[in-house]
Amino acid sequence: MLNNIGLPGLLLIAVVVLVLFGKGKVSSLMGEVGKGITAFKKGVNDGSKELEDAKVDAAKDVTPAEKDKA
Protein backbone atom coordinates (compact mmCIF):
# COMPACT_ATOMS: atom_id res chain seq x y z
CA MET A 1 0.00 0.00 0.00
CA LEU A 2 2.69 2.51 0.97
CA ASN A 3 5.29 1.27 -1.51
CA ASN A 4 3.95 3.50 -4.32
CA ILE A 5 4.23 6.89 -2.58
CA GLY A 6 7.51 8.01 -4.15
CA LEU A 7 9.38 11.28 -3.67
CA PRO A 8 6.59 13.65 -4.84
CA GLY A 9 4.16 12.05 -2.39
CA LEU A 10 6.62 12.34 0.49
CA LEU A 11 7.26 16.00 -0.34
CA LEU A 12 3.52 16.68 -0.42
CA ILE A 13 3.07 15.02 2.98
CA ALA A 14 5.97 17.04 4.40
CA VAL A 15 4.50 20.31 3.13
CA VAL A 16 1.05 19.50 4.52
CA VAL A 17 2.52 18.64 7.95
CA LEU A 18 4.59 21.83 7.93
CA VAL A 19 1.54 23.95 7.04
CA LEU A 20 -0.69 22.29 9.65
CA PHE A 21 1.71 22.34 12.59
CA GLY A 22 4.14 25.14 11.80
CA LYS A 23 7.91 25.20 11.73
CA GLY A 24 8.41 25.44 15.52
CA LYS A 25 6.13 22.52 16.37
CA VAL A 26 7.63 20.25 13.72
CA SER A 27 11.15 21.17 14.83
CA SER A 28 10.45 20.39 18.49
CA LEU A 29 8.64 17.19 17.53
CA MET A 30 11.60 15.97 15.46
CA GLY A 31 13.92 16.79 18.38
CA GLU A 32 11.82 14.61 20.66
CA VAL A 33 11.76 11.82 18.09
CA GLY A 34 15.56 12.00 17.86
CA LYS A 35 15.89 11.80 21.66
CA GLY A 36 13.56 8.81 21.70
CA ILE A 37 15.53 6.99 19.03
CA THR A 38 18.78 7.71 20.89
CA ALA A 39 17.32 6.39 24.15
CA PHE A 40 16.01 3.27 22.38
CA LYS A 41 19.42 2.54 20.81
CA LYS A 42 21.12 3.04 24.19
CA GLY A 43 18.67 0.65 25.83
CA VAL A 44 19.20 -1.99 23.16
CA ASN A 45 22.99 -1.68 23.45
CA ASP A 46 22.84 -1.87 27.25
CA GLY A 47 20.61 -4.95 27.06
CA SER A 48 22.95 -6.63 24.58
CA LYS A 49 25.97 -5.81 26.75
CA GLU A 50 24.19 -7.20 29.81
CA LEU A 51 23.44 -10.47 27.99
CA GLU A 52 27.04 -10.74 26.78
CA ASP A 53 28.33 -10.11 30.32
CA ALA A 54 26.04 -12.85 31.64
CA LYS A 55 27.37 -15.27 29.02
CA VAL A 56 30.97 -14.37 29.91
CA ASP A 57 30.30 -14.84 33.63
CA ALA A 58 28.70 -18.22 32.99
CA ALA A 59 31.62 -19.32 30.82
CA LYS A 60 34.31 -18.28 33.33
CA ASP A 61 33.74 -21.04 35.87
CA VAL A 62 34.14 -24.25 33.92
CA THR A 63 36.08 -26.23 36.53
CA PRO A 64 34.22 -29.14 38.09
CA ALA A 65 33.27 -28.84 41.74
CA GLU A 66 35.60 -30.72 44.09
CA LYS A 67 34.05 -33.37 46.30
CA ASP A 68 34.99 -33.48 49.97
CA LYS A 69 37.29 -36.38 50.78
CA ALA A 70 36.37 -37.94 54.10
Mean pLDDT by 10 residues, the chain (70 residues): 79 90 87 95 92 82 66
Give the C-alpha separation, 21 to 7, whole Å.
21
What's the pLDDT at 39?
Answer: 96
pTM for the full predicted model = 0.55
User: DSSP string of 9-70?
Assistant: HHHHHHHHHHHHHHHHHHHHHHHHHHHHHHHHHHHHHHHHHHHHHHHHHHHH--SPPPPPP-
Give the C-alpha separation, 56 to 40, whole Å.
24
